[in-house]
Structure 1
Amino acid sequence: MSLVKPVAPVAAGELGRVHFIGIGGAGMSGIARILLKRGVKVSGSDARGSAMVNELRELGALVHVGHAASHIKNVDTVVVSTAIRDSNPELGEALRQGLRVIPRAAALAAVMVGRSGIAIAGTHGKTTTSSMLTVALQKCGRDPSYCVGGQLVTTGLGADEGAGEVFVAEADESDGSFLMLAPEIAVVTNVEADHLDNYGDPQAVYDGFARFAERVGSTLVLCADDPGSAVLAAPARARGLRVRTYGESEGADLRVSGIEPDGFGVAFHVEGKGEVRLSVPGRHNALNATAALAVAEELGVPFDEFRDGLAAFTGAKRRFEAKGEAAGVAVFDSYAHHPTELAADLRAARDVVASFSGPSGRVIAVFQPHLYSRTRFFADEFGAALALADEAVVLDVYGAREDPEPGVSGALVAGKVPLPAERVAYAPERGAVPALVAGRARPGDIVLTMGAGDVTELGPLIVAALAAR
């Protein structure tokens, strides 16, 4: 996967008839949905059928299951997902016909043209922050269009066309594709080393975010607590951008204080503004919400109105998502796949279990490392983060697009967890995990499954194993 170079956005109206290769994916289907609602002719293909494919058909898309060159017919623009290989017959036919071929990020940029674009970027927190902003704006009657990296609990969708002028988009840095966006307002929640299989070294990651900041039109919102984000302020101001900072640090424009667990949620104070209560837990979510508040201020939304909108946010799929409860044990699922994300979610889990179970409640982490390269880069950090749990169960690596590496497995991470050996388990057989976890959990505990792979499927199975014991 090569890092994407910046390009000038093409308006959606200039795309003509659009064909999506890999239309069933979360990001691709969202853009297809928006185009369909704008009356654009859409076709596409995917390797398999799905509920999402059926939904797009109901909206008017012509969707094929399987890939074939014959599907590229009466098409002007072809959108390609990152999962599509150069050998794909539809891609080959599109190139043979000389059609416009663009990546997903360019299609996202196209549907943002003509709207007040807001892009949420950062190594962590961008899905939750963009989802919070979207839901709160909806509750405030602003009806934004949106395209985020997870499904909103309130709508069940990750993207939709709204009647308002605002377009909220999650900006993906993983392959540099956020450099195709040119938002009016952008948030950078934090900047840390990640996706080093693409970037090569941490400095290249920081340079990528600096280049992203250069594409912002009017306002840049930055976390004052995060060095990687805060360092973007000076060059942005030098360019004439309005810079707004948030966080617990002194001097932040929106300064957060008094962060406290509040049942399953969190309460905090924004100095000079007032008290905010969220229905999702964790200090990190207090900061995410304050980033959304900073954007709302730029849009002219009154604090009290937006605060009430934030209270309506109940989460996004796979972001500390409740999967069920049995035998007095609550099971949650998280997309966390970087050490910082694991640590934030495990601290939040500890706050929640303390609120409901007191000192007797424990946190059991079930972690599936994602990518061999990330596991190799961050094995020590993963181990340290998992020590925030009372017990840790580590699955084998979910390789995704990568081939296995000698010596890199879940055992590497399990061996780095500084807990007593009896409280750490390496579970290479995924099917054995539900019974293993059920055997370790006791009433009052929280089980948190974590990872960007198929570990998400284990939550209901763990609940069933708990109920059957």
Structure 2
Amino acid sequence: MTPASIRSQESLGRVHFIGIGGVGMSAVARIMAARGVPVSGSDAKDLPVMADLATAGARIAVGYAASNLGDAQTVVAGSAIRADNPELVAAREAGLPVLHRSEALASTMGDDTVVTIAGTHGKSTTTSMITVLLRGAGLDPSFAIGANVPALGVNAAHGSSGIFVAEADESDGSFLNYRPQIAVVTNVEPDHLDHYGTAEAVYESFDRFTELLPADGVLIACADDPGARALAERTRARGNTRVVLYGTSDGADLVLHDDGPGKVDVSAPAGRYALELQVPGRHNALNAAAAVAVALELGVEPAAAARALSQFSGASRRFELKGEAGGVRVFDDYAHHPTEVRAALTAARSVAGGHHVHVLFQPHLFSRTREFAKEFADALNLADTALVLDIYPAREDPIPGVTSQLIADHLGPGGQLVEPAEAVSALARAARPGDIVLTVGAGDVTAFGPQIVQALGG
């Protein structure tokens, strides 16, 4: 899809969302409902966000059935919706246009100044930071984020400022469906090879992403990440758009000074400014620098941008505190790529000080486990205790010979496979006052956090 083929919101008519309870789908539905578009939707389960959407005027159904389409004129279906879904089948038989979630979101952007955030890791956090910053600086952006954000109360909203901030997902190539004025790339690494096939195809897709920028647009890229820096250099060589680099590395236009918690500054041409960050880790300091870079492009004063970031307390499932008991803090993180797991455990180490770190990890996807088993183990070995669950299959069918044992084969003395029934008690026995327990993965491992807190308290 090219920018010229983006449909206008007015042309969609009545819009039905298949899988409306998903965090990404509900975000688009929420914005459309706020803008007066007649919205309906369904999901397999009755999820809490569906009640919110119903209150906003959407017609909601639980369970999939062709009759749920009603008088819809356009249907939106995400990548997770199977081809045999009865609503999707009925929509195609009726000749209704079927849009990907990203195409529907692009249609809501209209003439806004669009800021899209892409990257293999850190998209949700960086998008959240930018949104919180802009709001704190007195702007009112529209936004759509792939995670719930406590400081915002929601993951999407219609704003009045003419600025639209959106997370752009590369996992299925759908980030090419936007037409940004400002594009942020936090990092570029091989991932989602079930979709792309090769690392080269991943890099090529990011090149196509930056090519969407207009002549007066800007690419904001992380100088510390080799993939993002190489992308920036290729973009500069093409000469089609301006490039701004942020980070600690030489050549950064916005320089990050990260001397640990409470000692994070950024240097811009106008001066050096302290960042008061509530979230730990070098990766989050870099995300904050990206947010400041975006704010400066939108005319926010550097000092105001730095102050506004202090309001950001994190995004759901991004090193999220689930509770504390017996002097042990339990965090949950969505990390599902080796680089993300390493970043989460490094942050946990900084929070734990001299105490121990214990991790419960659930691999996500058979294909990702096959590609990165040793890299996952290397990251998990940063913990004192590393327990690994069976693979969460998500959208994939099993691959013969691919199990969590591939990771376990490379774990150190503190690592082992564990059955779900044993995980909670094993962590509760291992943890001591001052320690950190971290549940990690993009599957249902998140449910273990409250159970661990309860076991520690018992």
Equivalence for 1:297 = 296
Structure 1 window deviating more from structure 2 (96-105 vs 35-44): it is 96-105
- Does the Cα contact within 8 Å between 1:116 and 1:183 map onto a contact in 2? yes
Equivalence for 2:445 = 455
1:389 aligns with 2:415: no
Give the one of 62, 80, 85 matched to 1:83.
Answer: 80
Equivalence for 2:320 = 321
- Does the Cα contact within 8 Å between 1:7 and 1:180 map onto a contact in 2? no
Aligned-partner Cα distance in 2 for 1:119–1:406 = 38
Equivalence for 2:91 = 94
Equivalence for 1:219 = 218
Equivalence for 1:411 = 405
SS class of match (1:295): helix
Aligned-partner Cα distance in 2 for 1:34–1:374 = 33
Aligned-partner Cα distance in 1 for 2:267–2:327 = 36
Give the one of 429, 434, 439 matched to 1:439.
Answer: 429
Paired positions, count: 453
SS class of match (2:276): strand
- Does the Cα contact within 8 Å between 2:3 and 2:212 map onto a contact in 1? no
CA deviations 1:335-394 (Å, max 9, x no partner) are 00000001111111111111xxxx2x1111111000011001000000100111111111
Counterpart amino acid of 2:247?
Answer: G
Within-5 A mapping of 1:3-82: 8-82=5-79
Aligned-partner Cα distance in 2 for 1:436–1:156 = 35
Offset of residue 5 of structure 1: 7.9
Counterpart amino acid of 1:366?
Answer: L
Within-5 A mapping of 1:43-442: 43-217=40-214, 218-237=217-236, 238-262=238-262, 267-270=264-267, 272-354=271-353, 359=354, 361-417=355-411, 419-420=412-413, 423-427=414-418, 429-442=419-432
CA deviations 1:311-333 (Å, max 9, x no partner) are 11000000000000111110000
Offset of residue 7 of structure 1: 6.8
Offset of residue 9 of structure 1: 1.3
- Does the Cα contact within 8 Å between 1:259 and 1:286 map onto a contact in 2? no
Aligned-partner Cα distance in 1 for 2:258–2:167 = 28
Structure 1 window deviating more from structure 2 (92-101 vs 367-376): it is 92-101
Counterpart amino acid of 1:201?
Answer: T
Counterpart amino acid of 1:98?
Answer: G
- Does the Cα contact within 8 Å between 1:254 and 1:270 map onto a contact in 2? yes
What is the root-mean-square deviation of aligned Cα atoms in Å?
1.4
Gaps of 5+ in 1: none
Decide whether aligned partners of structure 1 residues 7 and 387 sit closer, same or farther in structure 2, where only a CA change above 3 A counts.
Answer: farther
Structure 1 window deviating more from structure 2 (366-375 vs 66-75): it is 66-75
SS class of match (2:292): helix
- Does the Cα contact within 8 Å between 1:246 and 1:252 map onto a contact in 2? yes
- Does the Cα contact within 8 Å between 1:5 and 1:177 map onto a contact in 2? no
Aligned-partner Cα distance in 2 for 1:245–1:256 = 11
Counterpart amino acid of 1:411?
Answer: Q
Counterpart amino acid of 2:43?
Answer: D
Counterpart amino acid of 1:239?
Answer: G
Aligned-partner Cα distance in 1 for 2:395–2:83 = 14
- Does the Cα contact within 8 Å between 1:18 and 1:78 map onto a contact in 2? yes
TM-score w.r.t. the length of structure 1 is 0.94
Offset of residue 224 of structure 1: 1.1
CA deviations 1:207-261 (Å, max 9, x no partner) are 0101001012311101111121112224433333111001111111011124312
Decide whether aligned partners of structure 1 residues 7 and 191 sit closer, same or farther in structure 2, where only a CA change above 3 A counts.
Answer: farther
Offset of residue 64 of structure 1: 1.3
- Does the Cα contact within 8 Å between 2:258 and 2:282 map onto a contact in 1? no
Aligned-partner Cα distance in 2 for 1:27–1:7 = 23
- Does the Cα contact within 8 Å between 2:373 and 2:407 map onto a contact in 1? yes
Aligned-partner Cα distance in 2 for 1:90–1:6 = 28
SS class of match (2:257): strand
Structure 1 window deviating more from structure 2 (396-405 vs 439-448): it is 396-405
Identity %: 53
- Does the Cα contact within 8 Å between 2:127 and 2:145 map onto a contact in 1? yes
- Does the Cα contact within 8 Å between 1:371 and 1:400 map onto a contact in 2? yes
Where has structure 1 moved over 4 Å in runs of 4 or more? 4-7
Aligned-partner Cα distance in 2 for 1:78–1:135 = 31
Offset of residue 21 of structure 1: 0.9
Decide whether aligned partners of structure 1 residues 400 and 6 sit closer, same or farther in structure 2, where only a CA change above 3 A counts.
Answer: farther
Structure 1 window deviating more from structure 2 (76-85 vs 447-456): it is 76-85
Aligned-partner Cα distance in 1 for 2:249–2:47 = 46
Gaps of 5+ in 2: none
Aligned-partner Cα distance in 2 for 1:396–1:36 = 39
